[in-house]
Amino acid sequence: MTSAVDTPFSLGAEIRAANLVGLRTLAPFLPLHRQRKVLNDLAGTHSSAIRGRGIDYAEVRAYQPGDDIRAMDWRVTARTGDAHIKVFREEKERPVIIVCDLRATMQFGTRRAFKSVVAADLAALLAWSALDHGDRIGALLFSDNTETDIRPKPGRRQVLHLLNALTGVQAGEPEEGRLAQICRHLRRIVRPGSAVYFISDFAGFDDDCERQLYNIGQHSDLVAIRLTDPLDAQLPPPGHYSIRHGDTRRVLNTASAATRAAYEADFVQRANALQAQMNRLRIPLISLSTADADPLPRLRAGLGLGAATRHTPGSQSGNDAAQPASGLNGR
């Protein structure tokens, strides 16, 4: 059983490199090589094995009796006039691609941390876990107007490069269709046999996004990790609240029962729509909240890893005590 010092999930509104490095201690609790595909009950089969490591082309050799004709290299055969077979070898270092959404919609939280901070924590934990298994680690980190494409490489230095990049991404002005742009870009860079972990609130997920993920899912294993905040699902108790976005400040009145009901219904409708889309794609969808003091058990369950020895929810690891991070204050 680990101690409180060993569970450095972040608090507050800032992504800090020291916190991300500290998550190294939790990597043994997330053995990605034992992951199984866990689907929502509505999607049919509950659990199935992931594809595992891919295979790389190695060489061409002359055909021998008993060889699988499906591996025939027809170009070499036509050029030489003799039958030749493609030889493959198992890929020892599987590409693990971590997609981390740091758009403006992720710069929000009313409990322990901003969604962007939780996303960075999860990206770091996945990277450390992939390192433990000897995989190649890559990432696509994106905000509203920038993206950082880190091509897969093995080793601790690659993980530290990723963690440093996470601390440097700045959100910009929201851009319509941005998530679809990222999904199209992801489709271009993901090679067959990869494991892809997409961490986002999935704001703006549309039919175009679904098409791109469908194509990725044909040759790679994709897991969607959705982050929400309690205030996404339910307005605060009836009253008047001062809210701020940038330099704009307004007063939110939550006294209307009709407004509150409509707000909650809209959240449920969007959540159900996203779940239905992921079900069609047969992509596991793991839902985590900024209110989760310890997201590891739910993450393990979503990855089909079962129960683990419980550990005490983490210390602040250098962060100040969490304040209502959204700037929402009752009056």
Q: What's the pLDDT tens digit per position in 108-148?
A: 999 899 999 999 999 999 999 999 999 999 999 999 999 99
**pLDDT score of 179:** 97
Distance of alpha carbon 313 from alpha carbon 167, whole angstroms: 23
Q: Which three-class secondary structure state does DSSP give residue 24?
A: helix
Distance of alpha carbon 46 from alpha carbon 37, whole angstroms: 8
Distance of alpha carbon 294 from alpha carbon 201, whole angstroms: 18
**pLDDT score of 286:** 97
- pTM, entire model: 0.78
DSSP 236: P
Range with the poorest average pLDDT among 53-57, 99-103, 119-123, 279-283: 53-57
Q: Tally Cβ neighbours within 10 Å of residue 286.
A: 21
CA 61 to chain centre: 41
Residue that has been written with the tokens 């009901």 in this structure: 261
**pLDDT score of 93:** 75
Confidence label for 51 from pLDDT (cuts 50, 70 and 90) = low
Share of the chain above pLDDT 90, in %: 65
Q: What tokens appear for 227 in the block? A: 């982050």
Distance of alpha carbon 39 from alpha carbon 252, whole angstroms: 38
Q: What tokens appear for 18 in the block? A: 């020291």
Q: Which amino acid is at 89?
A: R
Q: Give the ranges where the chain is alpha helix by DSSP (H).
A: 17-22, 74-80, 115-132, 156-166, 178-189, 207-217, 230-233, 257-281, 296-302
Highest-scoring range by mean pLDDT, 85-99, 169-183, 233-247: 169-183
**pLDDT score of 241:** 87
Mean pLDDT of 81-88: 83
Query: Is 126 in contact with 153 (CB distance < 8 Å)?
Result: no
**pLDDT score of 8:** 78
Distance of alpha carbon 276 from alpha carbon 292, whole angstroms: 24
Confidence label for 323 from pLDDT (cuts 50, 70 and 90) = very low
Confidence label for 88 from pLDDT (cuts 50, 70 and 90) = low
Q: Tally Cβ neighbours within 10 Å of residue 57.
A: 10
pLDDT at 76 over 80: yes
Confidence label for 315 from pLDDT (cuts 50, 70 and 90) = very low
Query: Is 322 in contact with 110 (CB distance < 8 Å)?
Result: no
Range with the poorest average pLDDT among 23-27, 62-66, 200-204: 62-66
Mean pLDDT of 43-64: 59
Phi, psi dihedrals of residue 192, rounded to the nearest 5°: -55, 140
CA angle 179, 184, 185 (to 5 degrees): 95
pLDDT at 72 over 80: yes
Confidence label for 172 from pLDDT (cuts 50, 70 and 90) = confident
For 31-59, give the secondary structure using H, E and C: CHHHCEEECCHHHCCCEEECCCCCEEEEE
Query: Is 105 in contact with 99 (CB distance < 8 Å)?
Result: no
Mean pLDDT of the chain: 85
**pLDDT score of 57:** 58
**pLDDT score of 3:** 40
Mean pLDDT of 281-297: 95
Distance of alpha carbon 50 from alpha carbon 305, whole angstroms: 12
Q: Which residue has the higher pLDDT, 126 or 89?
A: 126
Q: Strands 95-101 and 195-200: what pairing?
A: parallel
Burial class (CB in 10 A: 0-12, 13-18, 19+), 279: middle
Domain ranges of the chain: 4-45+94-330
- Per-residue pLDDT of 179-217, as tens digits, reads 999 999 999 999 999 999 999 999 999 999 999 999 999
Q: Does CATH number 3.30.70 belong to domain 4-45+94-330? A: no
**pLDDT score of 89:** 53
**pLDDT score of 317:** 39
Share of the chain above pLDDT 70, in %: 82
